[in-house]
Amino acid sequence: MAMTLTEKILAAHADKDHVSPGELIQVKVDLALANDITAPIAIKVFNEMGAGRVFDPARIALIPDHFIPNKDIDSAEQALMMKRFARKHDIVHYYEVGQAGVEHVLLPEKGLVLPGDLVIGADSHTCTYGALGAFSTGVGSTDLAGVMATGEIWLKVPVSFKIVYEGVLPRWVGGKDLILNLIGLIGVEGAIYAALEFTGSAIDTLPMADRFSMSNMAVEAGAKNGIFTPDKITQAYIEGRSSRQARFAASDPGANYDRVIVIPVDDLEPQVAFPHSPANTRPISQVGNVPIDQVFIGSCTNGRVEDLIQAASVIQGHKVARDVRLIILPTTPQVYREVMRMGLLEIFLDAGATIGPPSCGPCLGGHLGILAKGERCVATSNRNFLGRMGHSESEVYLANPAVAAASAVLGRIAGPAELA
């Protein structure tokens, strides 16, 4: 029987010839992931289980990225707990500050995820790796403890939605805008426990950075995972990153989709998600006059080299508006090094930005940019729920890096075309 790409990956990891939506299956995991917030809980449960040893020290990744460099005593204790566990169990892929970065950027960068893999992480944005043609999804820390002990997990096979983006993307429109537009159309519960499969002529030439952004935010529509068919662009990205064999696959002709959504993109504008939901989207032309206090460019959604190139191309030769803070956090040491080599950090510094270490930073309201009461922030991150980045009476607006950069210059939410 015909299967979707998601179903094929799940079937292969369940040692089955075929799986169907709604079926409960036990699957083998290629990689298990946790960070400095979720790992301590998983470690506690792991120890309470009496598991003894992890299932495979080479297939667990522990990444301190949320509260690092440690912001207080509590976060320091959490990071230390994770490091001690990693050393005790000889975890190969534990990265200390200086080598670590935002987990969902770091793992693909280091070749730890390949097409056809099945990745389980104690972080909701683990779905990012679907950009590579992997099945990846987030679970709770208790579930991850079981994965660390056994290397397996029970999953329900999701239904699949086929999202077809047709046309040619206009200038300044990218993956962030495609996924925000979709979430605006179907809502934050529009794809509950579904696999979002991204296809269409606009996707065929979409760069990897944009694909990562889209898969990353699949969960904001309630999806179990977001996935792309691996292709030449995927192959070029993974080349030289791993000695493992990638498993390229595609959905079968005649595969069953619970829903097919066709989205023309030729006239799509940059999108902005207003508070307090990623579904509260508007095209840039309908934003109006919204003064801001802060701009944050970074996060696992839009903190890659390509994102910072785009932001720098907009802000070069301009100054950040008076009374606006522009915070730039490159997501990994490699990203930091590359944009420094390209001279982008100097462009940002000349404009009046502050540049911080590879970290999730203010995205989750952690540190390095918390909002005060009444403040507004334009962020390239993935969520703008009430109180997400600080005070419950602050506001977060989600946008792509070009819009974020233009907004920093003009002191209000604005598109890059206004600076042309």
Q: List, as one string, the DSSP characters of 275-292.
A: TT-TT-EEEGGG----B-
Pairing relationship of beta strands 271-273 and 259-264 according to DSSP bridges: unpaired
Task: Please tell me the predicted confidence (pLDDT) of residue 282.
Answer: 98
- Closest to 209 in 3D by CA, of 78, 320, 299, 91: 299
Upstream peptide bond of 330 is cis (omega within 30 degrees of 0): no
Q: For 176, how many CA atoms within 13 A lie in the half-sphere containing its CB? A: 32
CB-based contact 158:21 (threshold 8 Å)? yes
pLDDT at 128 over 90: yes
DSSP character at residue 44: H
The secondary structure element, H or E, covering residue 108 is helix 103-109
Sign of the CA dihedral running 388, 394, 399, 400: negative
Cα distance from N-terminal residue to C-terminal residue, the chain: 53
Q: So what's the pLDDT on residue 94?
A: 98
For residue 420, is pLDDT > 90? no
How many alpha carbons fall within 13 Å on the CB side of residue 267? 1
How many of the other CB atoms lie within 10 Å of CB of 227? 31
pLDDT value of position 1: 87
Q: What is the pLDDT of residues 362-388, one digit of tens each?
A: 999 989 999 999 999 999 999 999 999
Cβ pair 35, 123 in contact under 8 A: yes
Which of 137, 150, 289 is CA-nearest to residue 226? 137
Going by pLDDT thresholds of 50, 70 and 90, the confidence category of residue 214 is: very high
Task: Tell me what the pLDDT averaged over the chain comes to.
Answer: 97
Tell me how crowded residue 73 is: count the other CB atoms within 10 A of its CB. 8
Please give the structure tokens belonging to residue 216: 């990353």
Mean pLDDT of all residues in 242-258:
96
318 half-sphere exposure, CB direction, 13 A CA radius = 21
Q: Is the pLDDT of residue 2 over 80?
A: yes
% the chain with pLDDT above 90: 99
- For residues 253, 254, 255, 257, the Cα torsion angle rounded to the nearest 10 degrees is 120
What is the average per-residue pLDDT within 21-36? Answer: 98
Question: For the residues 251-259, what does the mean pLDDT come to?
Answer: 97
Rounded CA-CA distance 115/30 in Å is 11
Q: What is the Cα Rg of the chain in Å?
A: 20
Query: In a 10 Å sphere around its CB, with 0-12 CB exposed, 13-18 middle and 19+ buried, how is residue 81 labelled?
Result: middle
What is the pLDDT at residue 18?
Answer: 97
Over residues 81-90, mean pLDDT = 97
Q: Which domains does the chain have, with CATH numbers?
A: 5-263 (3.30.499.10), 271-419 (3.30.499.10)
pLDDT in tens, 296-352: 999 999 999 999 999 999 999 999 999 999 999 999 999 999 999 999 999 999 999
Q: Which of 268, 228, 264 is nearest to 248 (CA)?
A: 228
In angstroms, the CA 15 to CA 26 distance is 9
Tokens standing for 10?
A: 């799940």
CB atoms within 10 A of CB 202: 23
In this prediction, residues 172-199 reach a mean pLDDT of 98
User: Is the distance from CB of 164 to CB of 263 less than 8 angstroms?
Assistant: yes
Q: Is the dihedral of CA 35, 29, 211, 344 positive or negative?
A: positive
Look up the pTM and report it: 0.97
